[in-house]
Amino acid sequence: MTSRTRPPLTAPPRIRIERPQPLLDCGRYPVKRSLGETVVVEADILRDGHEQLVAVLRHRPPGARDVFEVPMERRQDQPDRWVAAFPTTALGLHEVAVEAWVDRVASWQDELVRKVAAHQEDLTSELVEGAELIAARAASMQGEDRAVVERVLATLRSDAPQEERVQAALAEELGAALARHPDRSGSTRLDPALTVDVDRERARFGTWYELFPRSWGGFAGVERELPRFAELGVDVLYFPPIHPIGRTHRKGRNNAETAAPGDPGSPWAIGSEEGGHTAIHPELGTLEDLRRLTARAAEHGIEIALDLALQCSPDHPWLREHPEWFERRPDGTLKYAENPPKRYQDIYNLSFDTPAWAELWETLLGVVLYWMEQGIRIFRVDNPHTKPLGFWEWLIREVRAVDPGVIFLSEAFTRPALMQVLAKSGFSQSYTYFTWRNSRRELTEYLTELATSEMREYFRPNLFANTPDILTEYLQRGGRPAFEARLVLAATLSPSYGIYSGFEHCENVPLAEGSEEYLDSEKYEIKQRTLDGPLLPLFARLNAIRREHEALQWLDDLVFCETENESLIAYVKGATTGRGAVVCCVNLDPHRPQEGVVTIPHDLGLPHAFTVHDLLTDAAYPWQVGRNYVRLDPAAVPAHVMRVEP
């Protein structure tokens, strides 16, 4: 015989709250929003029977003791789907819950209305029942609302005609008074609550420029160029590691295993007798120089981002002070960093499996807090996928408890799932596969995933067009038109994008055939950099367009268009969100002119006929919903960036 189980000791709630959104991994991680953005919350709210429900969105901002409530309303297209929204007014982690209960008086009123409509003549019993329900609610009321309820009760209990008593029971002022004093007995609350992590705008939108300060005359040289960087529309200047560089196994030019006299070494080989992760290479300047640079940059609307590379040269002080933090082979030798075929004999990785892991974690947190004290609020993290996920969750949480405006960019070119969980774990932005997506199909599929899948809730892409490690074949073989096309794509597809200095000069010579490494890489030698590259006018114009057009500051409104030519890619931003539509079309073929037809979809809300104004050339064209002819010559301008005129 099958064993039976007894009913639960307490009756389960009859209201169910299902499919809440936004919800990430059943509430394991918060969704991301930027300051000022509206958070829309939805849920299915169900109950057996015909009772009338009331639901509210409960919102607790970070650090607040009070909970703010917003009434939820049913969606007209889905009667069991309820929705409400609230604006984000504080940085940090917001708690969001949904609570629902039965409005017994409203349920009685609904039944009364249906009986009146059915011409039921004797409603005496129903009116007595209603009077009892209303009287019970009146017990907790005072002031004018209590007076309104008392007047209705007097009418219901009087000898007035039934029609008059029904009208009193259904009066709007009664409903308004009762709504201000809800009876939440038997309510159901969503558990666990949703969480929303709110960053500042720079976590969502900005233009990055990566440079090696040693190639610009140190901090003082970069400071002299700040007005020009501001004119170009740069929001973030990102520096690779600025720390002392080790001498043991120092790399030479083009990653040679032996350095020649005078070779400066790789900035990622961090640490020497002059200090480690909280020290500055003396040739770049002093700590005071960095503080002054950061302050001067802020005056120009620019932030300084530092590289957080958790690795050490053989000369780093930590190897003497904490040998237990490093992994050794059975013969006692330290393991240097490798990513075959790449070998980094000048770098040792920290071991996060050390028994002293807690001390290591605290020390690394101290490094971040130290640079925050110097005015740094943005960190680009080198290879975070090679460190424990739990470490990043803890470190980012601790840092943002001190300053919720700190931004972390994840430089993780690895498996998709690992890149995604790093973003979920707290990273504000992420490097992407954009660098290697060159065809129309590749770009369309990848950016559609970023913009429309669940990734839009937590993964903020930063489309770097190149890096010191990545010179793609497309750039190597495409000449200046390839650089222009990739620049337009990066700047208009994603709210955040970046270039590494040298891009504006169209530097495209690889170390060897089939390699993505640069010949004479700046990682191993000092260049003499200046802001005079031929692509800087286009760079500046695109950044001005991005600042002037809200559509380009978001990713969630990206819609791709058919072009009938695989060498042309076209997309619309802003049309579906009312941010001012921008139409972009790019020739992906850097060698030949291409022509095709851009088909504007009918469901974007655009008028049938409209004018587009090309923001790159100042030309105007008549366009329409449907098919529009386009021809782009890479020898002239390889792209259209067009505003749809009101």
pLDDT of residue 617: 97
Helix (H) or strand (E) run with residue 33 in it = strand 31-34
**Whole-number Å distance between alpha carbons of 587 and 584:** 10
Average pLDDT over residues 421-450: 98
Q: In this structure, are 191 and 169 located in the same domain?
A: no
On average, the pLDDT of the chain sits at 96
Tokens standing for 580?
């001012």
- The dihedral region occupied by 309, where left means phi > 0, alpha psi between -120 and 50, and beta the remainder, is beta
| Domain shared by 93 and 168, yes or no | no
Asked if pLDDT for residue 104 goes beyond 60, the answer is: yes
Report the alpha-carbon distance of residue 567 to residue 437 in Å, rounded: 13
Any idea what the CATH number is for the domain that residue 125 is in? 1.20.58.80
Do 560 and 520 contact (CB within 8 A), yes or no?
Answer: no
pLDDT in tens, 539-594: 999 999 999 999 999 999 999 999 999 999 999 999 999 999 999 999 999 999 99
Q: Distance (Å, rounded) from C-alpha 311 to C-alpha 328? A: 15
> Is residue 77 one of the residues assigned to a domain?
yes
How does 417-437 read in b/e, with b if 16+ C-beta sit within 10 Å? Answer: eebbbbbbbbbbbbbbebbeb
pLDDT digits 0-9 by tens, 309-361: 999 999 999 999 999 999 888 888 888 888 777 788 999 999 999 999 999 99
Whether residue 319 lies inside any domain: the answer is no
The DSSP line for 508-539 is --BSSTT--SBTT-TTSS-----S--TTHHHH
128 to each of 88, 157, 166, 238, 483, how far by Cα in Å? 46, 8, 11, 74, 80
Q: Are residues 633 and 570 part of one domain?
A: yes
CA distances from 139 to 147, 162, 374 (A): 12, 25, 60
Residue where the block lists tokens 């114009």: 541
Catalytic residues: 382, 411
Task: Kindly list the distances between the CA atom of residue 122 and the CA atoms of 125, 133, 161, 287, in Å, as whole numbers in the listed order.
Answer: 8, 19, 11, 88
Same domain as 44, residue 157: no
Question: Is the Cβ–Cβ distance between 402 and 369 less than 8 Å?
Answer: yes
CA distance 525 to 513: 21
The residue behind tokens 């393991």 is 335
- Do 571 and 640 sit in the same domain of this protein? yes
Give the rounded percent of residues in the chain with a pLDDT score beyond 90: 93
The torsion angles phi and psi of 260, rounded to 5 degrees, stand at: -85, 160
Distances (CA, A) of 281 to 163, 256, 263, 339: 89, 22, 14, 26
Query: Domain ends where: 179, 212, 238?
Result: 179
Distances 200 to 14, 144, 284, 403, 405 between C-alpha atoms, Å: 40, 44, 30, 11, 6
Statement to judge: residues 74 and 118 lie in one domain: no
CATH of the domain at 99: 2.60.40.10
Q: Quick one: 23 and 96 in the same domain?
A: yes
Domain identity same for 71 and 191: yes
Of 639, 643, 635, the C-alpha closest to 615 is: 643
Q: What are phi and psi of 115, to 5 degrees?
A: -70, -35
Q: Tell me what pLDDT residue 477 has.
A: 97
106: number of Cβ within 10 Å: 17
Tens digit of each residue's pLDDT (9 = 90 or more) over 139-151: 888 999 999 999 9
- Structural domains in the chain (count): 3
Express each pLDDT in 211-257 by its tens digit: 999 999 999 999 999 999 999 999 999 999 999 999 999 999 999 99
Residue 192 has pLDDT above 80, yes or no: no
* CATH code of the domain in which 597 resides: 2.60.40.1180
Residue 2 pLDDT greater than 80, yes or no: no
Quote the pLDDT of residue 88.
95
Helical H segments across 17-103, by residue range = none
How far is 325 from 322, CA to CA, in rounded Å? 6
Q: pTM for the whole thing?
A: 0.94
Instruction: Note whether residue 377 is domain-resident.
Output: no
- Three-state SS string over 586-633 comes to EECCCCCCEEEEEEECHHHCCCCEEEEEECCCCCEEEEECEEEEEEEC
Residue 595 within any structural domain of the chain: yes
Answer for the pair 15, 51: CB distance below 8 angstroms, yes or no: no
**Residue 174: domain span:** 105-179
Which residues fall within 8 angstroms of residue 396, CB to CB, at 6 or more apart? 408, 425, 426, 427
pLDDT score of 609 more than 80: yes
Confidence of residue 1 (pLDDT cuts 50, 70, 90): low
What digits encode the pLDDT tens for the residues 43-91?
999 999 999 999 999 999 999 999 999 999 999 999 999 999 999 999 9
Q: Is the pLDDT of residue 109 over 70?
A: yes
The confidence score (pLDDT) of residue 4 equals 84
Residue 320 has what pLDDT? 96
